[in-house]
Amino acid sequence: MFDCSPECSAECGVGVRTRSVVCMTNHVSSLPLEGCGNNRPAEATPCDNGPCTGKVEWFAGSWSQCSIGCGSGTQQREVICVRKNTDTFEVLDPYECSFLERPPSQQSCHLQPCGAKWFSTEWSMCSKSCQGGFRVREVRCLSDDMTLSNLCDPQLKPEERESCNPQDCVPEPDVVNCKDKYYNCNVVVQARLCVYNYYKTACCASCTRVANRHAGFLGSR
């Protein structure tokens, strides 16, 4: 008795179809193969799925190097649809191979553990807008599986706090003594720079006139 495999070893051209051969009596008990005599059927038979020329299939290139030297990364490879000719490949539109299962073009890779590393969040907003403030961030030592670790080098720990906005504060415009300090304040107005405290103070009169005209325009609507 034998069970024949439906699959041919070659997708095109000549291949082999294999089967298992057992010796049985009364279709129930299995005996040693020698008990059935010398007329044992062959375990392999030839098969032919037709010529390989003109066959359409996916062709996958070699995998690239892992994207990182340690930890979990990815590898890429090119996958194209081709038609096999006698000595050459013809590149086709991927649609031509859509009826076939497409090989993956990306896979994960893991060369070696990275060990623990320092990770930090984004900086917070500065505590002051001028005359020196500070901002903070959270810094943690994490292992490859992103759990807390104490194996990071303390000397390499990123700063958790730093100073910011050291510039002097520009005073608000003095309405009583409001006047233009520069001859070209009309340029400041045209460039719409009055929204900045520096120009609002330096060109107080011009910026105030523009602001009042704008407020009057909005009030009349």
Structure-token pair, residue 117: 């590393």
Give CA–CA dist 144/112, Å, rounded. 10
Give CA–CA dist 211/41, Å, rounded. 103
Give CA–CA dist 89/57, Å, rounded. 10
pLDDT of 148 higher than 70: yes
Q: What is the pLDDT of residues 180-220, one digit of tens each?
A: 888 889 888 888 888 888 888 889 888 888 887 776 666 65
Q: What is the pLDDT of residues 10-27, one digit of tens each?
A: 666 677 788 777 777 665
pLDDT of 130 higher than 80: yes
Nearest to 45 by CA among 2, 88, 109, 90: 2
pLDDT the model gives residue 17: 83
Give CA–CA dist 42/31, Å, rounded. 18
Beta-sheet strands, E only, within 32-138: 44-48, 55-60, 72-76, 79-84, 89-92, 106-110, 117-120, 133-136
Instruction: Report CA-CA distances (Å) from 129 to 74, 117, 137, 194.
Output: 43, 33, 18, 18
Structure-token pair, residue 101: 């299962």
Cβ neighbours around 46 below 10 Å, total: 11
* Between residues 104 and 214, the one the model is more confident about: 104
Taking the domains of the chain in order of start, what are their residue ranges?
2-48, 55-110, 117-164, 170-221
Q: Mean of the pLDDT values across residues 127-136? A: 90
* Between residues 173 and 215, the one the model is more confident about: 215
pLDDT the model gives residue 62: 94
Structure-token pair, residue 168: 């002097």
pLDDT the model gives residue 2: 45
